[in-house]
Amino acid sequence: MQSAADIVFDAATKTYAGSAEPAVDALSLTVPAGEICVLLGASGCGKTTALTLVNRLTELTSGDIRIDGRSIRDQDVIELRRSIGYVIQQAGLFPHMTIEENIATVPQVLGWKRSRTADRVRELLELVGLPHKEYADRYPAQLSGGQRQRVGIARALAADPPIMLMDEPFGALDPVTREHMQDEFLRLHEQVRKTTLFVSHDIDEAVRMGDRVAILAKGGRLLQYDSPERILREPADDYVARFVGTDRGLKALTLRSLDELKLDPVTGDDEAQPHTRDTLHPRDILRTGDTLRTALSALLAGGAERLPVADESGKTVGSVTVDLIREAA
């Protein structure tokens, strides 16, 4: 597997012809190898422009971007793009190609042997949870939106690039599918550890997905670049504070899970609770990996005073209350 690479924006600037102000204004930040950086901001703040500067779909006006110390200006543009995974909304799959053919596109262009390409497609389909035997010969129109997005991620990973660019990849999905895809990508990222630039306009998504978050204002000005927790607890200015919302404390609960808490002891009532959960209902059991925000939502949804918590095996290991979560926060 190819190693991840760091990305350095060095006063990267883009000004379009006839525009009075830059779309991206002297953007300087470093994304360490293997981390997810979310570019966050309102419409028109230059998020997508900054993203596409990296693979030169948009050319720099001034400044530089370096990948593992090498300027993108010094690289052949076609070779550069082939070395970077790129995922967009609704996946952008070729409708006349099968799923296998879509994923194999870049390896074939790079001249990989047929057997190597076939093995890679099989590996990636299994990795994104779409068994090769069932999905390889289907066409994009035969898949759900979430399945197409998985194929788009697999295609972006096909040539094992060190960098992934993702432009609101889950923005067109319904809320339930979107949350599931976010979880699936984070699971996948734990395995492949690609340096990822991820565009979003949703603070909840940014907090959930990002190791670091870059908040941009109109004209592509960087307002704050920090961990999600620091941005929620210490916004750099009033604009950032308004953007992340007055419920910053609630959002911060997303960053912690129940396995970090000293749970209350198990009671007889707790042990009687079911050990599976499909929806957040006060009769359902929580899991140690659930976030504090998930637990709080479950407690408040049905007015429950206490909910049992199970480990991954389904064994009840304790219980949680609203007061316990408030103390932890």
For 77-87, give one letter per residue: b (16+ CB within 10 A) or e. eeebbbbbbbb
CA 78-172-210 angle, to 5 degrees, is 70
Tokens found for residue 55: 């693979």
Confidence at residue 301, expressed as pLDDT on a 0 to 100 scale: 73
Q: How high is the mean pLDDT of the chain?
A: 85
Rounded CA separation 65/286 (Å): 44
DSSP string, 72-100: GGGS-HHHHHHTEEEEETTTT--TTS-HH
Q: Is 56 left (phi over 0), alpha (psi -120 to 50) or beta?
A: left
Q: Dump pLDDT digits (tens) for 37-64.
A: 999 998 889 999 999 999 999 999 999 9
For residue 181, how far is the Cα from the chain centroid? 9
Tell me the one-letter amino acid at 69: G
Q: Is the pLDDT of residue 297 over 70?
A: yes
Q: Dump pLDDT digits (tens) for 80-118.
A: 998 899 988 766 788 999 999 999 998 998 899 999 999
Pairing of strands 163-167, 84-88: parallel
**Contact between 86 and 56 (Cβ < 8 Å):** no
Q: Which CATH architecture fits 7-252?
A: 3-Layer(aba) Sandwich (3.40)
**Contact between 40 and 216 (Cβ < 8 Å):** yes
Q: What confidence tier does 2 reach under pLDDT thresholds 50, 70, 90?
A: low
Confidence at residue 247, expressed as pLDDT on a 0 to 100 scale: 66
Confidence at residue 273, expressed as pLDDT on a 0 to 100 scale: 46
Confidence at residue 291, expressed as pLDDT on a 0 to 100 scale: 80
Confidence at residue 274, expressed as pLDDT on a 0 to 100 scale: 41
Segments making up each domain of the chain, as ranges: 7-252, 256-328
CATH 3.90.1280.20 fits 256-328, yes or no: yes
User: How many CA atoms, within 13 angstroms, populate the side-chain half-sphere of residue 115?
Assistant: 0
